[in-house]
Amino acid sequence: MSELAVGEYHALAEGVYLEGLTYDFRRDVVWYSDVIKGGIHGVRPDGTPYASFNPERMWTGGIMMNACGAVFSTGQHGIMWNDPDTGESGWLLQEIDGVPLIGANEMWPDGTGGIYFGTNDIESIIAARDTRPTQIYRMAVDGTVTLVADRCYFPNGLAMDARRRRFYASDTFRTSWTWDVAPDHSLVNQRMLFDKDDCDGCCVEEDGNVLLTGFRSPGRIVRVTPEGKELAPLETPAGCTTQIRYGGADLRDYYINVVPADGGDTLKAGGELSGASTLYRGRAAVAGVACEAAAFKLR
């Protein structure tokens, strides 16, 4: 695999509208979803195809790993898991307090083996209607699910800083939020991070600066301090970015899904997309915070 200079990009894969994204440290594989064409797909950092599964499942907005090697994916009816090595699959979560989940979106590890995740009104998304308010929850490694935020209308990209003191969420079509993380893993002191109504994915550099992707922000990813002061952006290939994740041995490789500039608003309106989406590998000047694997017992 060729080494990239900072600012260079290498295209790895294409699809219709790429959204979910995670780096699999165990296999050295990048997993990504195509919310329109369907499926979860894996490629090596040099672009060599690895594996695919769930080809008929559309609207997967989030992907992350479990320590056993299973891949979690969100979408209609909750959070699934698939083991690419054995072909086994099942559900991590389909209901909360006995109420079936309409949909789940992005996830982030809580540092104790569990996850934070956002729900979404996927029925309205598919029908091209304005979405109803949804929530952010924490699912502990023992399976306990706790509501941690209910003032986030459309929780999308989720992330935490390296010390797990600050939590971030993109509230798509509205703004981006930040919270303090309490000792019991609850989220407190919610406030606006950066006023950006096209915010989508989210990730954090090791020094604490936050990266906010935007489906109406061609050629760049917004960078802000933890206090919301805008910094020089991360420049990207043409198009708009839906998600970013760090990987590699030194956490300076990063992966981004780039979609047509009109893609997000076209999906919201129920129209047909123009052009294709591309998964790229880039090289950062500073390392990022990894989306570590959860530690649920699945079997």
CATH code (residue 30): 2.120.10.30
SS3 123: helix
pLDDT tens digits along 124-149: 777 778 777 789 999 999 999 999 99
219 within some domain: yes
Split into its structural domains, the chain has a count of: 1
Residue 131 confidence (pLDDT): 76
89 within some domain: yes
The 29-34 sheet, strands edge to edge:
18-24, 29-34, 40-43, 49-53
Q: Say how far apart CA 17 and CA 233 lie, in whole Å.
A: 23
pLDDT tens digits along 210-235: 999 999 999 999 999 999 999 999 99
Least confident range from 80-84, 167-171, 199-203, 265-269: namely 265-269
Burial class (CB in 10 A: 0-12, 13-18, 19+), 98: exposed
269 within some domain: yes
295 within some domain: no
48 within some domain: yes
Range of the structural domain that residue 68 is part of: 9-283
* C-alpha to C-alpha distances, 142 to 51, 71, 92, 209, 253, nearest whole angstrom: 30, 18, 11, 32, 33
pLDDT tens digits along 5-28: 999 999 999 999 999 999 999 999
Residues 98-119 have a mean pLDDT of 96
